[in-house]
Structure 1
Amino acid sequence: MTNEMAGDKKGIGKRLILVMGTPLILLITLITYYITVPSANDYVAKINGKKITQSELNKELVSQYGTDALSTLITSKVIELEATKQKVTVSDQEIQAELEDLQKSYGGKEAFEAALESNATTLQNAKDNIKTYLTTTKLIEPTIDITEKELKTYFKENKDTFSQEEQVQASHILVEDEDTAKEVAKKIKNGDDFAELASAYSTDTASASDGGNLNYFGKGVMDESFEKVAFSMKVDKISDPIKTDYGYHIIKVTAKKAGKEATFENSKDDVITALMNEKIDVNYSTWLSSLYEDYDIESTLTSNK
């Protein structure tokens, strides 16, 4: 339900950085593997006895993807060398914090891992990409100037995005039928742990592994019936079973945030972050081209496209 009912758009930029690079990472891995690892056979496939040789595969991979893969590797190496030169480091704690933020933007750890699997990549690849992303950010930030005037203009033009809408933090247990919902509700009344019941019963797999946690959400995000009950409840209260198009829900409200209009003073840090990220996106290509000029880069691979 988490991904179906709530379309979370937070962290989209970071998602694109991680996910869009995935196919190229796979290609780099394939190219590296087939070029460097000798085969016990002189072929990689047979069709009616007709061989496709490893040499043919290597040639095709390099022909189609070699220059793109090499370009990505060169960029990563230049950034790594520049970080060493400027003594810029990224700690494991920073990577973990960014990873957790990214997982939340997907709707939880399980949903994030499913996204990795669907993109045929690994958690380690995601962490490597996060490290490169954070390193690049630390390198480019000092080259960007932001004036007070720019901050105030940006805030004025995007004020609504910095306002805090009324929000509810809730957990839920989603089941398919009313009988199961009543069974779970009875267990809760008898003192069974809500999170453990969510893990055992909930069909919303994205939240079940986290005790049914849906994090904070505002109005207009969830199913209307679900939302109406959640916003009307007091903190720490648990609802009776609620029917929606997704099944039967038992809701537990864990916290609330009152709506609050944004002011420049209380939003300034967020404005700086948002404007800095926007400027990094705009200036990245120019910054990278300038960085390349400081390094002696030689490539022997030419494109056959």
Structure 2
Amino acid sequence: MKMNQKRFKKIVKLVAAPIVLSAFLVGCSDGGDSRTVATVNKEKITEGELNKLLQSQYGSTALDSLITNKIVELEAKKLDIKVSDKEIAEEYKTYTESYGGEEALLKSLESYNMTKKDVEKDIKNYLLTLKVMEDYIDVTDEDVKAYYEENKESFNTEEQVQASHILVEDEATANEVIKKLNAGEDFGELAHEYSTDTVSAENGGELGYFSKGQMVEEFENAAFAMKVGEVSKTPVKTEHGYHIIKVTDKKAAVKANFESAKEEARKKLVEERVNEQYQAWVEEKMKEYDIKTTLFEK
């Protein structure tokens, strides 16, 4: 299923690099270097061997991430800049909504060994970076207006559908599920039981909101043609299998104006300029701090 890939990439970029790579730098577990992490024909591969390889390949990258994060924290402290729990929760909420719930989001992050606390920690650092650099990048009201005019269409909200689905491999199973739904069984429970889309199944089949172009064509056409509260009467076949779709909400398209989009435009422009100027800012700030690294010292 074609999900919200842009959102997913943002999450991975946000939480994976500094946390996952830094995990490689942590010492061995209580089992020590000799703990076996894999075997090949009964030949052992130890945790010590794994850590040594990971440290040599990724250690510098992870350490750089941790150093720059620390610089951001110190700059924020110097400028008395803080990020509130409410701001972190709001940013986190945008991720959970795009995944159809927290369970589905965390399921997607399992491959990175991430937890909610890990995500929130990096969200905090990300928001601190935006705030700390805001004076450095100097975004004026005129800049925001110009950015809005150049990107006006992107601030329009397309028609969206919120839907859940149960994905199965064959039509016979799909019809069996529909029969149970018609008999009054719960959609979410059947998603848990039957759906091969394990990520959405964890949240009762919920996919969140999506606009046209985000799902495969057959699924999209069916979902947008349905009414709120309606469940597909026949299975919808796609390249992924057979879907039973339930539409839970719809949002009409909205044409934006500058006043309604001003804050969003400012935020996007700040993020864009931070991305462009972050490296130069870090290099400039590094000269102001006494930084010593001992990672590769014997």
Q: What is the TM-score normalised by the length of structure 2?
A: 0.79
Corresponding letter in the other structure for 1:183? E
Identical positions, percent: 44
Q: Alignment partner of 1:215: what SS?
A: strand
How do 1:198-217 and structure 2 match up within 5 A? 198-217=191-210
Q: 1:203 to 1:70 in 2, by over 3 A?
A: closer
Q: Deviations over 1:117-155 (max 9, x none)?
A: 333555443333222212222222243322333223222
Of 178, 186, 189 in structure 1, the residue corresponding to residue 179 of structure 2 is: 186
> In the alignment, does 2:29 pair up with 1:20?
no
Q: Which stretch of the first structure deviates more once superposed, 105-114 or 255-264?
A: 105-114
> In the alignment, does 2:6 pair up with 1:9?
yes
How do 1:8-157 and structure 2 match up within 5 A? 8-10=5-7, 12-29=9-26, 33=27, 67-105=60-98, 109-157=102-150
For residues 98 and 231 of structure 1, the distance between their equivalents in structure 2, rounded to whole angstroms, comes to 28
Show the counterpart of 1:238: 231
Q: Deviations over 1:180-234 (max 9, x none)?
A: 3233223322322222222222222121121211111122322322222211222
Show the counterpart of 1:162: 155
Is the Cα–Cα contact under 8 Å of residues 198 and 208 in structure 1 kept in the other structure? yes
Q: Which stretch of the first structure deviates more once superposed, 157-166 or 144-153?
A: 144-153
For residues 64 and 200 of structure 2, the distance between their equivalents in structure 1, rounded to whole angstroms, comes to 39
For residues 151 and 262 of structure 1, the distance between their equivalents in structure 2, rounded to whole angstroms, comes to 15
Unaligned runs of 5+ in 2: 35-45
Of 272, 275, 278 in structure 2, the residue corresponding to residue 281 of structure 1 is: 275
Q: Which stretch of the first structure deviates more once superposed, 125-134 or 11-20?
A: 11-20
For residues 213 and 121 of structure 1, the distance between their equivalents in structure 2, rounded to whole angstroms, comes to 21
CA-atom RMSD in angstroms:
3.8
Is the Cα–Cα contact under 8 Å of residues 104 and 203 in structure 2 kept in the other structure? no
- Offset of 1:25 from its aligned partner? 1.3
- Offset of 1:67 from its aligned partner? 4.6
Q: Alignment partner of 1:271: what SS?
A: helix
Corresponding letter in the other structure for 1:19? A
- Offset of 1:278 from its aligned partner? 0.5
Q: Which has the larger radius of gyration?
A: 1
Q: 1:244 to 1:299 in 2, by over 3 A?
A: same
Is the Cα–Cα contact under 8 Å of residues 66 and 301 in structure 1 kept in the other structure? no
Q: Alignment partner of 2:7: what SS?
A: coil
Of 245, 259, 262 in structure 2, the residue corresponding to residue 251 of structure 1 is: 245
Show the counterpart of 1:196: 189
Is the Cα–Cα contact under 8 Å of residues 229 and 248 in structure 2 kept in the other structure? yes
Corresponding letter in the other structure for 1:85? K
- Offset of 1:106 from its aligned partner? 5.5
- Offset of 1:274 from its aligned partner? 0.8
Unaligned runs of 5+ in 1: 42-51
Q: 1:290 to 1:93 in 2, by over 3 A?
A: same
Is the Cα–Cα contact under 8 Å of residues 4 and 98 in structure 2 kept in the other structure? no
For residues 6 and 169 of structure 1, the distance between their equivalents in structure 2, rounded to whole angstroms, comes to 13
